[in-house]
Amino acid sequence: MIFTRTEGQGSEPLVLVHGWGFDHTVFAPWLPALTDRWRVTRVDLPGHGRSPASGAAGGLTEWAAAIRRAIPEDALWAGWSLGGLPLLQAVIDGARPRALLLLAASPCFCQRPDWPHGVPAADLDAMVHGLDAAPEATVHRFRTLLGRGGVADRRALKPWRRRPSASPGALRAGLALLRDTDLRAGLARVDCPACWLAGDGDPLIPRAAAAWGARAMPRGEIAYHPRAGHLPFLTHPEWATDALQALSRQSRS
């Protein structure tokens, strides 16, 4: 069971999926720019927010299938960070959204011998161990890391400094997905219009990861902002909204 919340007066459906350790309310500051044009469905990942903790036990395929059952498919899908992975997996598995926006996301979050554009595996493993000892402190350190993008990022994260938004099991499962998932080989099957949003201020995802993902997709592109960090929909909402509007136009052409 996946919790969703739908609002807005627009005729076009839009789905928003959040990242690790957050929940659907992280998108609340962005909503005023969206709800006149779109009917917005915000999703809580398995074990996050109001989605049951029991749903976090599966792997990425199970997360993708559960989210797919809970959202409109004939819609523009947008995934932030970890939230991009189940949406990508759903499309690789046959879903056909109108278009796909990937905000500060990557097809492969963890470094590999042939993939330097990620987080070292040791860092993700250290976070897993930290969750066992002090889950709230570990989430707090992660959010502090996100704030390194700049003053705007730190301001956007202030309401979330010590606000747990997921069960311990869901946090571990999400980190395991970030560490183990590599969707590069499947991107050629993502044939809807797709855009990767990337910024030089992102402390986790280098622009090269998004650029690679865009090149690997038949209809992929990258939108780049020199001052955006890991929270572009909060720190640069007009830019993120422009990207949604451009994808919407492409999906109708």
204's tokens: 């986790």
Task: Say if strands 4-7 and 38-43 run parallel, antiparallel, or are unpaired.
Answer: antiparallel
**Cβ density class 7-30: b for 16+ within 10 Å, e for less:** ebeeebbbbbbbbbbbbbbbbeeb
Selection from 153, 113, 138, 122 nearest residue 29 by Cα = 153
pLDDT of the residue at 163? 64
% the chain with pLDDT above 90: 76
pLDDT of the residue at 164? 62
Please report, for residues 40, 44, 87, the alpha-carbon distance to residue 17 in angstroms, rounded to integers and kept in the order given: 11, 7, 8
- Can you give the chain as a three-state secondary structure string? CCCEEEECCCCEEEEEECCCCCCHHHHHHHHHHCCCCEEEEEECCCCECCCCHHHHHCCHHHHHHHHHHHCCCCCEEEEEHHHHHHHHHHHHCCCCCCEEEEECCCCCCECECCECCCECHHHHHHHHHHHHHCHHHHHHHHHHHHHHHCHHHHHHHHHHCCCCCECHHHHHHHHHHHHHCCCHHHHHHCCCCEEEEEECCCCCCCHHHHHHHHHHCCCEEEEEECCCCCCHHHHCHHHHHHHHHHHHHHHHC
- Residue 134: pLDDT above 90? no
Spell out the domain ranges in the chain: 4-252
- Residue 61: pLDDT above 90? yes
Q: Give me the active site residues, please.
A: 81, 202, 230
One of 2.170.190.11, 3.40.50.1820, 3.30.230.70, 3.40.1390.40 is the CATH number of 4-252, namely 3.40.50.1820
- Residue 118: pLDDT above 70? yes
pLDDT of the residue at 221? 97
State the pTM of this model.
0.96
Quickly state the pLDDT bin for 204 (edges 50, 70, 90): very high
In this prediction, residues 160-184 reach a mean pLDDT of 88
Alpha-carbon distance of 131 to 13, in angstroms, equals: 36
Quickly state the pLDDT bin for 59 (edges 50, 70, 90): very high
pLDDT mean across residues, the chain: 93
In this prediction, residues 69-91 reach a mean pLDDT of 98
Quickly state the pLDDT bin for 152 (edges 50, 70, 90): confident
pLDDT of the residue at 252? 85
pLDDT of the residue at 110? 96
Alpha-carbon distance of 103 to 152, in angstroms, equals: 17
pLDDT of the residue at 153? 82
Quickly state the pLDDT bin for 107 (edges 50, 70, 90): very high
